[in-house]
Structure 1
Amino acid sequence: MIPHVQLPGHVAGWTLKEKTAVAAEMGDACRHEGFFFVHDHGIPTDLIGEVYSETQLFYRLPVEEKGKYEASEKSQFLGYRGLGREKSRTHSGTEACEQYRLGNTTHELALPESVDFYHEHFPKSLELFRHLTHLGDGILAACALGLGLEEDFFKGYLGRPLHRLGLNYYGASHPSDVGSKVDYAMSPHVDLSLLTILDQDEPGLDVRNPDGTWQEVPTVPGALFLFLADYVQRWSNGLYRAAPHRVTAVRCDRMSIQYKHRPDYGVVVAPLDALTGPADPPKYAPLNTGSEYVAVLRSLLGR
């Protein structure tokens, strides 16, 4: 069973008492599954529908037009990842989907292209991005409280955060188009982020339970699906679980909206001193969320 968490409306109005209540309700799910649905999040349903419409319009463009927005290191990996562009993390082929990335950039890396160029088709998506940024901040504050930390503990690591909004299209024909020999369209992995918030218009996402079995995530009207990612698991020294997930070979065309809450470029994530000790030594090595993250993207998207 997937846990369900009731939120106190839009995060802009949450009090410390309400964040503490959210932390308590999320607690078991964060420690055990690492994933759950959130209800009463305050994000307009109509807005999410408009984002799907924007996404659909973009993916209907000719391949040559979509290719003008190709994601690369020069764009800080914003933009379009065409079918077969992303290499699989688990097999020798490529992922059977098309993807588009919106989001923030850093001054630490070169950015010769205008960010507005990559965002020009997606005004409603950027509006949703702002809502999800606030929701991510609220959930992260609740995570801190649930770990016995101050609510703003992680705020100092955000700085100029590199949050990302992914608009993903899984066509029913995509696996055959890329010659896939596996029964999934996106390889199993754990996100390199703090947490991920997702909506899907059709089922297709699977999450891995603590016992190693895979579970299909249904579509739940009005709810968003949330799963913890590598950085929270690493900071918490495994007290909170990151959720491995994949996308199955879909039976019909599917779109998903995937928001990743991320820290500032170059933040080093390692088990916190407050959550380690002689009886509970660090289980994870430090990870640089700047250079090491970019190296992963190079390996997935490099020509």
Structure 2
Amino acid sequence: MIPHVQLPGPAGEWTSKDRQSVAERIGGICRKEGYFFVHNHGVPAELLKEVYAEMQRFYRLPPEEKSKYDATEKSQFLGYRGLGREKSRTHAGTEACEQYRIGNTTPDLALPESVDFYHEHFPKSLELFGHLTRLGDGLLAACALDLGLEEDFFSAHLGAPLHRLGLNYYGASHLSRVGSKVDYAMSPHVDLSLLTILDQDEPGLDVRDTDGTWLEVPSVDSALFVFLADYVQRWSNGRHRAAPHRVSAVRRDRMSVQYKHRPDYGVVIAPLEALTGPDEPAKYAPLDTGSDYVAVLRSILGR
């Protein structure tokens, strides 16, 4: 059973009392399941429709046109990941989807000549990006409160955050086209982010519960799906659970919008001293959101 949370409206308008109310509602969910639907989130339904229309237009472009926006280290991995471009982290093959990334960049790495170049097909997606950033900030503040921290605790690590919006296309023929020998289109994994917010036009996402059972995430009108990711689990020393997830083999074309809320480049994330002690030692090694994260992207996208 996937929990549902009724929010007090658009997160950018929440008061401290609102954030405390959300923390009380999601606290137990974050500690157990780590995933939930949110309602009354303030993202216009019409905007989501326009984002899917942008995605359709882009993915219908000829391959040579899409390849102009190839995601590489030089673009800070913004742009297009063609079918079979991303290597699986769990099997010898590749992921059976096409992907596109828009979002923030960091001056700590070489910048592409024009970030706007990678965003030019997606003005409505950039508008959605702003809505989801505010929602992510609100949910993260609620997580902090549930952990007994100040509501703005995580804000110190969000001065120049590397939030990203993934625009993903899973074609019904993609599994056969990449010669996949598994029965899922995206391998099981936990996101390298703080939390992830997702919408899908067709079911396909599965999450794994605490018993190890895979649950299909339905498409719910007017609701967004949220799941916690590695960085919150690591900072909280496992008090908040990151949700393993995958995309099953799709029977018809499917698109998803996947927003990842991330901290600044180069933040070292390790279990907080306030949440560890002699009876609760650190369960996770430190992870650098700069060099360690880039190393992962190199391993799955390197050429």
Answer yes or no: same fold by TM over 0.5. yes
- SS of residue matched to 2:48: helix
Q: How far is the alpha carbon of 1:257 from its aligned partner?
A: 0.1
C-alpha separation between the residues in 2 aligned to 1:211 and 1:113?
48
C-alpha separation between the residues in 2 aligned to 1:194 and 1:34?
12
Letter in 2 for 1:255: M
- SS of residue matched to 1:110: coil
C-alpha separation between the residues in 2 aligned to 1:187 and 1:302?
18
2:190–2:244: 8 Å Cα contact kept in structure 1?
yes
C-alpha separation between the residues in 2 aligned to 1:107 and 1:65?
28
Equivalent position of 1:39 in the other structure: 39
C-alpha separation between the residues in 2 aligned to 1:64 and 1:282?
49
Letter in 1 for 2:197: I
1:142-221 maps to which residues of 2 (within 5 A)? 142-221=142-221
- SS of residue matched to 2:69: coil
Equivalent position of 1:293 in the other structure: 293
- SS of residue matched to 1:226: strand
Q: Does 1:52 align with 2:56?
A: no
- Deviation per residue, 1:227-267 (Å, 9 max, x gap): 00000000000000000000001000000000000000000
Q: How far is the alpha carbon of 1:72 from its aligned partner?
A: 0.2
Letter in 2 for 1:98: E
- Deviation per residue, 1:166-219 (Å, 9 max, x gap): 000000000000000100000000000000000000000000001111000000
C-alpha separation between the residues in 2 aligned to 1:7 and 1:157?
24
1:203–1:218: 8 Å Cα contact kept in structure 2?
yes
- SS of residue matched to 1:68: helix
C-alpha separation between the residues in 2 aligned to 1:257 and 1:241?
22
- Deviation per residue, 1:100-124 (Å, 9 max, x gap): 0000000000013310000000000
Letter in 2 for 1:260: K
> Structure 2: which 5+ runs fail to align?
none
- Deviation per residue, 1:151-171 (Å, 9 max, x gap): 000000111000000000000
1:63-142 maps to which residues of 2 (within 5 A)? 63-142=63-142
C-alpha separation between the residues in 2 aligned to 1:196 and 1:13?
20
> Structure 1: which 5+ runs fail to align?
none
C-alpha separation between the residues in 2 aligned to 1:241 and 1:12?
25
TM-score, scaled to structure 2: 1.00
C-alpha separation between the residues in 2 aligned to 1:182 and 1:112?
36
Letter in 2 for 1:155: S
Equivalent position of 2:247 in the other structure: 247
How many residue pairs match? The answer is 303
Identity %: 79
C-alpha separation between the residues in 1 aligned to 2:75 and 2:116?
11
Greater displacement, 4-13 / 73-82: 4-13
Letter in 2 for 1:46: E
Q: How far is the alpha carbon of 1:283 from its aligned partner?
A: 0.4
Equivalent position of 1:26 in the other structure: 26
Q: How far is the alpha carbon of 1:30 from its aligned partner?
A: 0.3
- SS of residue matched to 1:53: helix
Letter in 1 for 2:13: G
1:70–1:80: 8 Å Cα contact kept in structure 2?
yes
User: Structure 1 segments of 4 or more deviating over 4 A?
Assistant: none
C-alpha separation between the residues in 2 aligned to 1:80 and 1:12?
30
2:76–2:112: 8 Å Cα contact kept in structure 1?
no
- Deviation per residue, 1:45-88 (Å, 9 max, x gap): 10011000000100000000000000000000000000000000
1:74–1:113: 8 Å Cα contact kept in structure 2?
no
C-alpha separation between the residues in 2 aligned to 1:25 and 1:12?
18
C-alpha separation between the residues in 1 aligned to 2:13 and 2:67?
41
TM-score, scaled to structure 1: 1.00
